[in-house]
Amino acid sequence: MAGPAGLMADVSWEVLERRARVKRSGSVYEPLKSINLPRTNNETLWDKLDHYYRIVKSTLLLYQSPTTGLFPTKTCGDDQKAKIQDSLYCAAGAWALALAYRRIDDNRGRTHELEHSAIKCMRGILYCYMRQADKVQQFKQDPRPTTCLHSIFNVHTGDELLSYEEYGHLQINAVSLFLLYLVEMISSGLQIIYNTDEVSFIQNLVFCVERVYRVPDFGVWERGSKYNNGSTELHSSSVGLAKAALEAINGFNLFGNQGCSWSVIFVDLDAHNRNRQTLCSLLPRESRSHNTDAALLPCISYPAFALDDEVLFRQTLDKVVRKLKGKYGFKRFLRDGYRTSLEDPNRRYYKPAEIKLFDDIECEFPIFFLYMMIDGVFRGNPKQVKEYQDLLTPVLHQTIDGYPVVPKYYYVPADFVEYEKRDPGSQKRFPSNCGRDGKLFLWGQALYIIAQLLA
């Protein structure tokens, strides 16, 4: 009896010591030696899904707002911001697991719970958007950065946050992604749109998205031009997502199988063709100032799959991988100063030519390994899936409960910047675990679930 009791005491002490160390460091990250928690070799489908259900509950749904259904940008402190794009991916992660649970006869109500978590988030975004219906009308008449829908809302109330002078809200990619996931979820049987007012509003959103081919915006990274001087540009990633959304929603019935003629959405085919032609003329570049950009991955691959030209797809993807791939993830774009040691956090915009300082020390984002894994699944390329799984494993971390965590980025500390500039790739990078971006990066957590379910 003494042996097992002593072993249990040792294990308990190890757990307590690890938790104490985490509390002292103020971080939930610990090196993850294995992606999967201890699991038996002969586990059933239920066991596998139960494993992912626990991850989703602990790293995603735990942070969903009980009032709006939105997900916060940061999961610690009293930060009240919710970004549309991040919330959409969180909803997609819960919905993806719900689709997997449909294969089980007795899912103990988990399919219903996960599906309605996704529905609650989608309707929360719709609620935030519909409260700004007047801006949709203004944007249709005069598409400018000061007439667009907001991209950040209060996570609990859905109120507008940050003025147009404080933040670049013109991110058409977020609206396009909302329309794209809306169509996919309704096609799977979810009921998200309830009445004619909501149908009419979605039709108005489509009218706004149709004009993307001639509306410069701030892009996925919210900074517009590569020089981060407050100017907007025409982005391939925004045009591509708009093209994909228009293709998906054209002729689609928002009431699903229970719909009628007046719940069908229509798209101007000429506008769609202009978006397609503009996208093909912009690629393989992201914009006038961005030679290439990791934001092109969700445009040309999951979730948009916006390109029909296989040659152009391969050319664009190869350029992204060749110029941006690193040991810890992909750079967002070359000379990106975001969260680097040399960036001044007290200034919103950069000085002229300041981006030269960020050469070779750009932060690397592991989330793009997940995009490449998913792309390999859809392209039927198991070699690519295995390659990026192997790259992802050493950069993953875990919570004190043992659940996988995808760090937002890896950065070069200030003391090692000169050495890294002298010999790019020679210095160790450290994960974003110091509280600047919160404890969990929910966009990465959601994409991790989707990638693991597919792979």
pLDDT of res. 14: 47
Strand partners for 405? 397
Encode pLDDT of 248-300 as tens digits: 999 999 999 988 899 999 999 999 999 999 999 999 999 999 999 999 999 99
78: confidence class by pLDDT, cuts 50, 70, 90: confident
Average pLDDT, the chain: 89
Give 398 or 244, the one with higher predicted confidence: 244
Mean pLDDT of 194-219: 96
Average pLDDT over residues 27-31: 40
Residue 376 contacts by C-beta under 8 Å, 6 or more apart in sequence? 382, 383, 384, 385, 387, 388
| CA–CA separation, 202 and 450 (whole Å) | 26
Instruction: Kindly tell me if the per-residue pLDDT of 27 is higher than 50.
Output: no
pLDDT at residue 433 in the model:
66
- Rounded distance between C-alpha atoms, residue 234 and residue 279, angstroms: 10
pLDDT (average), residues 27-42: 45
Q: What is the pLDDT of residue 400?
A: 81
**394-417 mean pLDDT:** 90
Q: Is 398 helix (H, G, I), strand (E, B) or coil?
A: strand
Mean pLDDT calculated for residue range 172-189: 97
At residue 455, the pLDDT reads 86
Among 223-237, 239-253, 428-442, whose mean pLDDT is lowest? 428-442
Q: Which helix (DSSP H) or strand (DSSP E) does residue 405 occupy?
A: strand 404-405
How far apart CA 191 and CA 119 sit, in angstroms, is 8
Does residue 13 register a pLDDT over 80?
Answer: no
Percentage of the chain with pLDDT > 70?
89
pLDDT for the residue 402: 83
Classified as helix, coil or strand, 85 is helix
- pLDDT exceeds 60 at position 209: yes
Residue 6 has pLDDT above 80, yes or no: no
Q: Mean per-residue pLDDT for 319-345?
A: 96
pLDDT band at 393 (very low <50, low <70, confident <90, very high): very high
Question: Which one-letter amino acid corresponds to residue 205?
Answer: L
User: For residues 262 and 199, is the Cβ–Cβ distance under 8 A?
Assistant: yes
Asked if residue 2 has pLDDT above 60, the reply is no
C-alpha pair distances (Å), 361 with each of 237, 296, 335, 412? 24, 21, 8, 6
Least confident span in 100-114, 144-158, 302-316, 421-435: 421-435
For the cut 80, the answer to whether the pLDDT of residue 337 exceeds it is yes
Is residue 207 predicted with pLDDT exceeding 50?
yes
- Please give the C-alpha separations between residue 14 and each of 7, 142, 400, 432, in angstroms, as whole numbers: 11, 62, 12, 25
Asked whether residue 158 carries a pLDDT value surpassing 90, the answer given is yes
Predicted local confidence at residue 275, as pLDDT: 97
CA atoms of 347 and 317, how far apart (whole Å): 33
Among 29-38, 103-112, 418-427, top mean pLDDT goes to 418-427
